[in-house]
Amino acid sequence: MSLAIAGMGWITPLGGGVDAVWERLLQGDEAHAEKITEKFDDQAYTVFRVPDSALASLAPHPRLRRASLISRFAAAAGLAALEEAGVKLDPRNAERVALVFAISNGGVIYTKRFYRDIVESGAQSASPLFFPETVFNAPASHLAAILGITGATYTLVGDGAVGLLAIRMAEDLMANGALDYCLVVGAEEVDWLLCDAYHKWRLLRLEPPVEPFNEVARGMILSEGAGAVLLAREGLIKIESTHAGGYYRKRDEAEDVLKRILCDLIEAESGFVIASANGTFIDEAECRAISQVVPGAIVYTAKPALGESVGAGGLWQVIVGGQALRQGELPPLLHVTSKIPLRISASGSAAATARGAIVLSCGLNQQIAGLCLGMDP
């Protein structure tokens, strides 16, 4: 069995559309930072939001009428991936398509609203309209309904590594010959509450820029959006290998787990690494592991430009890796202010000769995953 990417869809703070976002990354653009506040607290936080224009082409659907933003992001990205692949689902072929959804924080906006009503006014004021949208698999269900998928639908929950774990799960599902495609979608929405939680966890920076691989981990900026890849038996970008992943018990163990995963993955030809460095403690672990296991690889992370979107982050990394292989070029890595032992992607970095790429996701809550992409000459 071979596994490949047949189509990709992208909803990001730099807009929607794989090619359009890619152009902006190549130009060194970074997302517009926006302040968000909460009425019961004075602290303001900075986030990267998806611009309204990115969802402009999303057709109305009854399932999206009251759905949270996360479901809209997911629907737009999923539909875009199918469109790019030229796949139209109908009742005959829809049962041969599985959906695997990656999520971390889920529908936090409605969850907060629902619970706030309970805290402020008691259980009797809780809205039955909000509660269903608090469920982790709500976005996957809405997308399945929009696409008419009637077979396997899974929502996988985890930290920033969940996107790559979802692709691994999709590979397990595709081992079943009854499936032609598996649509893997990762999505996340941002809210003040999430920012506050990550801030109290000392992982958030109050203002951009995000400085990856910095000697001092100053923190990340949260962002929102979705990424989708349609996996098929054939396609230009191959999933050469996936890794089942691992977890670290303490932060100082992350480097060893990353090394082990990298060692398992480097059998394939790897010209560059799409890292998950986001300005937090994981950067140091990634930097050490990459510099020791694949010292010759060019390293890039899109998180200074796009922010940390957690559940969507892994899918975004895969799209970056796939697009870099397809276009033979890598965007410049922004805001590297420390001297680091890595070959970082500079402006106009050529990836033209690269036939493979490693995508590495080190989550903030103990999970780590990786995979290897490749492209035929």
Ranges within 40-79 binding other proteins (CB under 8 A): 40-41, 63
CB of 146 to other proteins, least distance (A): 9
Residue 315 C-alpha from the chain's centroid: 4
Closest CB to other proteins among residues 137, 291: 137
Q: For 4, phi and psi rounded to 5 degrees?
A: -145, 165
Does 281 contact other proteins by CB under 8 A? Answer: no
Piece of 73-81, 133-141, 207-215, 272-280 that binds other proteins (CB under 8 A) = 133-141
Q: How many angstroms from the chain centroid is the CA of residue 179?
A: 24
Based on the shown chain and the rule CB under 8 A, indicate whether residue 179 belongs to the binding site for other proteins: no
Shortest distance (Å) from residue 197 CB to other proteins: 5
User: Is 89 among the residues that bind other proteins (CB under 8 A)?
Assistant: no
Q: Which stretch binds other proteins (CB under 8 A): 50-58, 236-244, 335-343, 348-356?
A: 236-244
Interface segment toward other proteins; rule CB under 8 A; list 9-17, 246-254, 279-287, 290-298? 246-254
CA atoms within 13 A on the CB side of 203: 20
By beta-carbon proximity to other proteins, the closer residue of 20 and 244 is 244
Residue 180, interface with other proteins (CB under 8 A)?
Answer: no
Rounded to an integer, what is the distance from CA 321 to the centroid of its chain?
12
Cβ at position 374, least distance to other proteins in Å: 10
Q: Which residues ranging from 16 to 45 are in contact with other proteins (CB under 8 A)?
A: 40-41
Q: Specify the residue, 131 or 350, whose C-beta has the smaller distance to other proteins.
A: 131
By C-beta, is 12 or 134 nearer to other proteins?
Answer: 134
User: What's 278-293 look like in SS3?
Assistant: CCCCHHHHHHHHHHHH
Question: Binding to other proteins by residue 236, rule CB under 8 A?
Answer: no
Confirm if 192 and 107 have CB atoms less than 8 A apart: no
Tell me whether residue 144 or residue 302 sits nearer to other proteins (CB atom). 144
**Is residue 151 a contact residue for other proteins (CB under 8 A)?**
yes
Per CB under 8 A, 159 contacts other proteins: yes
Shortest distance in whole angstroms from residue 164 CB to other proteins: 11
> What DSSP character marks residue 308?
B
Per-residue tokens: 303: 């998180």
3-state secondary structure of 82: helix
Q: How far is CA 233 from CA 6, 179, 350, in A?
A: 8, 10, 28
Given 20, 118, 350, 352, the residue binding other proteins (CB under 8 A):
118
Question: How many chain residues touch other proteins (CB under 8 A)?
Answer: 81
Whole-number Å distance between alpha carbons of 313 and 332: 18
The minimum distance between CB 83 and other proteins, in angstroms, equals 20
DSSP string, 310-349: TTTHHHHHHHHHHHHHHHTEEPPPP---S--SSEE--TTE
**Local structure of residue 132 (DSSP, 8 states):** G
Give the closest residue to 343 by CA, choosing from 292, 279, 299. Answer: 299
Quote the least distance from Cβ 342 to other proteins, whole Å.
23
Q: Which is nearer to other proteins, 178 or 352 (CB)?
A: 178
Site for other proteins in 317-376 (CB under 8 A): 365-367, 369
Helix, strand, or coil (residue 77): helix
For other proteins, the binding residue among 242, 278, 323, 345 (CB under 8 A) is: 242
Please check whether residue 309 is in contact with residue 31, taking contact to mean a CB–CB distance below 8 angstroms.
no
On the question of a cis peptide bond just before residue 209, with omega within 30 degrees of 0, the verdict is yes
Site for other proteins in 196-235 (CB under 8 A): 196-198, 200-202
Q: If binding is defined by CB under 8 A, does position 267 make contact with other proteins? A: yes
Q: Within a 10 A sphere around the Cβ of 237, how many other Cβ atoms?
A: 23
Phi, psi of 40 (to 5 degrees): -95, 15
Q: Which of 23, 136, 218, 251 binds other proteins (CB under 8 A)?
A: 136
